Amino acid sequence: MKFLRKFIKRFRLDSLLVPIIDFLLIYLACQIGLRYRNISFEGLKSDLRGFPDDYSWILWLAPFLGVFIFSLSNQYKSLFGLFTTKNIYKFFSYSLFLLVNLAIIGKIFLFKIPNLKAWIVLYFIIVSFTSLSRFIYKDSLQKRISFKSKNAKSIAIYGAGGAGRQLEAALKISNLYKVCFFIDDDSSLWYREINGIKIYPPYSLQKTLKNIDQIFLAIPSLLTKRRKEILNSLQRFNIKISSIPSIAEITRRKSIIDSLKPINVEDLLERDAVDPDLHLLSKDIEGAIICITGAGGSIGSELARQIIELSPKKVILLDNSESNLYQITSEVEKLSLEELKLIPTLGNCCDLDFLTNLFSEEKVDIVFHAAAYKHVPLVEINSLNSIANNVFSTLNICIASRNLNLKKVLMISSDKAVRPTNIMGATKRLSEIIVQAFANDVKVNTPSKEAPKTCFSMVRFGNVLSSSGSAVPLFIKQISSGGPVTLTHPKITRYFMTIKEAAQLVIQSSAMAKGGEVFLLDMGKSICIKDLVIKLIKLSGLQLKDNIQPNGDIEIKITGLRAGEKLYEELLIDAEAKKTDHPLIFRANEKYIVIEKLNPKLESLKKTISQRDKNSALKILNELVVEWEKSI
């Protein structure tokens, strides 16, 4: 009774329609199978006269037994809209199990049992009927969904490989998108079909894209160079493009195959990413105790992500922002190994006693100094606090590191430090001078036979895409909200690199540092910001609104250069760049001020800041950074 109640309960939970259809189909299969149980022509003739009474027990027992077996095997709990060939294989086994049980029952109760040919015919008819009913139901369901989805966007999938097919299957059950066709570079696939959807060559896009709202790029293994070629070819169509995650993201379980995202601005750069030297990456990091200042910022957080994967002994994440520190700590805890000790530390690098105590207690080997105020307009407005933070955090790190004989200190600088025209750039250049002064002082005061105890160096690079200080996220936000996109000057240019590249450069530079150098990356050609904005507009499926196209979607509004903003940036002041072990990383030794002359000026600067004397502070800053082009 308990088993019967369980069956009734299971049966009631299932849809009544499908079991009833199965009952009727099995009944019909038995009618046909037993009438045509003989394969020979003569036997077929005699069977047409009527149903053989000797086998009527099968006709009435098989439908009940079949529904019972299908119910116990959870067939009626399946989602029939997702019925696949895998389900057919199950029907082969369930139908075989049904006929075996019928034969056993016939033996037990001494019923007349058909011959082997009849069983085979009956078996294949039952499998065919029940499987076919599922496919008919699935197709009718898809048609109902398509009929309901009048507002579904028409899309094309670029890539007819495994990822493209998976994406199409995932989108098929959605009410949001209708896949109209595939595009693929492989000529062997052209004009063939996947699930009734045709595959076209890329050169036919001019004709086929007329009724398409969006393109989904579904080639996760695509090489960077080919990816850029495809995106450049699609720009002229003014159609929105999204992409599935890369192979690396999928394998790391960061994304799934049908997770779509906008095209990264990194894909629009006119340069290929710099491949890191794996030996240089791990040379100083493996087994070391690392401190990252500004760990919650764009560069600091990426440094944390990459350093943790290089097997350090301990990583101290130092930041004065509680929310930023919490966010990066939560993220890297998932990446870190059990034997790695991760220490999130709230604190201010302008506090020398705090830094000295931290470096001493944790026995720090290497400091990556990324903490700084970097937003040019905000630094211009808050000049005194910005000078205090950027300059004296660097000074205190250098003092504490030298006093405790740390192995290395690497400061993150900026191309805005080269002939600066704003306070942020001037503070970065002064920070470089401080690092250079300490590097020289260590060398001068180290006996000739000994290596310097603390190695001080710095890395200088251009704009980092999608960082907190980058204008690119603002451009994307302005485009998504309908514009206008604000641009300070139509001819403004910048060097760009990805956050990942920047962090790799910093780590590799640390491995090559000998003291006092400034490292920089061959960043290729500088990019016209206006051209970059136009590309972003086109790849969002929109048109530029200007004098030529007054009915376009997004307008670019020129606001004028901000205070201290340059039309272009540089990476060197007056030194010569020399090659290093990495083909695209260069080394230079810029001019500096010896520490004996620098310290009194820094004391005076500190005093004017504490007195809130802005004019005097800027005057001293200008005396220390003589190439600063700001008039005071």
CATH superfamily entry for domain 153-263? NAD(P)-binding Rossmann-like Domain (3.40.50.720)
pLDDT tens track for 252-302: 444 444 455 555 666 666 555 556 777 778 888 999 999 999 999 889 999
**CA proximity to 236, closest of 547, 541, 554, 555:** 541
* Res 477: pLDDT: 80
**3-class secondary structure, 345:** strand
Long-range contacts of 467-472 (CB under 8 A, 24+ apart): 467/297, 467/298, 467/299, 467/499, 468/297, 468/298, 468/374, 468/375, 469/298, 469/374, 469/375, 469/376, 470/298, 471/529, 472/265, 472/532
The domains of the chain are located at 2-145, 153-263, 283-525+559-624
The catalytic position among 416, 428, 530, 535 is 416
> What is the full DSSP assignment across 416-427?
GGSS-SSHHHHH
Residue 191: Cβ within 10 Å count: 10
In whole angstroms, give the CA distance from residue 168 to residue 195: 9
Place of tokens 């037990």: 108
* Res 625: pLDDT: 92
In whole angstroms, give the CA distance from residue 442 to residue 516: 10
Place of tokens 């998976």: 166
What parts of the chain have a pLDDT lower than 50? 1, 3-4, 7-14, 39-49, 79-81, 145, 147-148, 247-258, 631-632
Tokens of 460: 């200088």
DSSP 8-state secondary structure symbol assigned to residue 487: E
**CA proximity to 567, closest of 622, 490, 476:** 490
Tokens of 517: 């150098």
Residue 106 CB partners (closer than 8 Å, separation 6+): 57, 58, 112, 113
Beta bridge partners of 455: 408
Beta-sheet pairing, 554-558 with 544-545: parallel
Taking the model in full, what pTM does it have? 0.65
- How large is the angle between the packed helices 383-403 and 595-610, nearest 10 degrees? 140
CATH 3.40.50.720 at 283-525+559-624, yes or no? yes
Please provide residue 180's backbone torsions phi and psi, each rounded to the nearest 5 degrees: -90, -35
**CA proximity to 601, closest of 571, 582, 626, 583:** 626
In whole angstroms, give the CA distance from residue 553 to residue 542: 6
Catalytic-residue membership of 117: no
- How large is the angle between the packed helices 472-480 and 529-539, nearest 10 degrees? 40
* Res 555: pLDDT: 85
Tokens of 127: 């499998």
In whole angstroms, give the CA distance from residue 119 to residue 29: 11
- How large is the angle between the packed helices 116-148 and 85-108, nearest 10 degrees? 140
**Comparing 153-263 with 283-525+559-624, is the CATH topology the same?**
yes
In whole angstroms, give the CA distance from residue 146 to residue 142: 6
